[in-house]
Amino acid sequence: MKTIGLLGGMSWESSAEYYRLVNERVRELRGGFHSARIVLYSVDFAVIEAMQAEGRWDDAGQELNRAARALEAAGADFVVLCTNTMHKVADRLTEGLGIPLLHLADTTAAAIKASGLQGGIETGGTKGGIKAGGIKRVGLLGTGFTMAQPFYRERLAAHGLDVLVPDEADRETVHRIIYDELVHGVVTGESRERYREVIARIVAAGADGVIYGCTEIELLVGPEDSPVPTFPTTRLHAEAAVDYALGRISLPPAT
């Protein structure tokens, strides 16, 4: 089993989910007393959040590069960056690094493609069904950075996906709930309803599936909150990390 290097703390709420999901996946596949080999580096999110707000992305990339190097030095065989937004600086993070990064957008795209092979043809408008030929157009929910900036959408588009994002007002709602509530562990029914409304609108705009493209979003909504298939990036990333660590898959093809 390879040693998984979790680079987390952005926020620690979602990083705790990564730790749980990774170990549950190992238990599912290996059974008995097995658990994952993990090295965890957790940053101070206040430092990273300030860099985000001030547009200091290069500084943030340098900070995460230092963290990734520390994971490598501690024995990690590959890095799992436990946040969607900070994949904006993935290239900076991997500079001079001797171990690979399991890119979250690539694992998400692979799961969307696989869903078309596994889901079959949608019948009778079944909730969560997969359309014939698979999903090509997906809605993306995430932080304002992830939704508005091209780094994530372009990575998905390179895998052949057409990516829709909410309008400006809905983007502001999704972002505010993430930063004002979810990263602090606050989960409310009112905010869940706001997200359901955003999801309904992006589905009405033509999305055949919805990406929960922020690691905290899965703390608020699940597959039952969407009329179309959902792709929870935290769970998909964690499962792919285990599958790679156990030699069940190769790294998804980069773009």
Write out pLDDT tens, residues 126-175: 345 555 458 999 999 999 999 999 999 999 999 999 999 999 999 999 99
pLDDT-derived band at 251 (thresholds 50, 70, 90) equals confident
Query: Which pLDDT score, from 0 to 100, does residue 90 have?
Result: 96
Nearest Cα residue to 156 out of 252, 60, 240: 252
* Largest CA-CA distance found in the chain, in angstroms, rounded: 54
Q: Is the pLDDT of residue 63 over 80?
A: yes
- The predicted model gives 81-88 an average pLDDT of 95
pLDDT-derived band at 125 (thresholds 50, 70, 90) equals very low
Domains, the chain, ordered by start? 4-104+235-245 (3.40.50.1860), 105-232 (3.40.50.1860)
pTM of the model: 0.88
pLDDT digit string (tens) for 100-119?
Answer: 999 999 999 999 999 875 44
Going by their DSSP bridges, the two strands 230-232 and 209-212 should be labelled as parallel
- The predicted model gives 22-50 an average pLDDT of 97
Please state, in angstroms and rounded to a whole number, the distance separating the CA atoms of residues 10 and 83.
6
- The active-site residue out of 143, 146, 214, 234 is 214
Q: Look-up: residue for tokens 């508005």?
A: 148
Answer yes or no: 83 catalytic: yes
Query: Which pLDDT score, from 0 to 100, does residue 32 have?
Result: 94
Q: Is the pLDDT of residue 241 over 50?
A: yes
Please state, in angstroms and rounded to a whole number, the distance separating the CA atoms of residues 168 and 194.
14
Please state, in angstroms and rounded to a whole number, the distance separating the CA atoms of residues 178 and 215.
9
Q: Is the pLDDT of residue 240 over 50?
A: yes
Higher pLDDT, 130 or 210: 210
Query: Which pLDDT score, from 0 to 100, does residue 250 have?
Result: 87
pLDDT-derived band at 124 (thresholds 50, 70, 90) equals very low
Query: Which pLDDT score, from 0 to 100, does residue 115 have?
Result: 85
Contact between residue 175 and residue 167 where contact means Cβ atoms under 8 Å apart: no
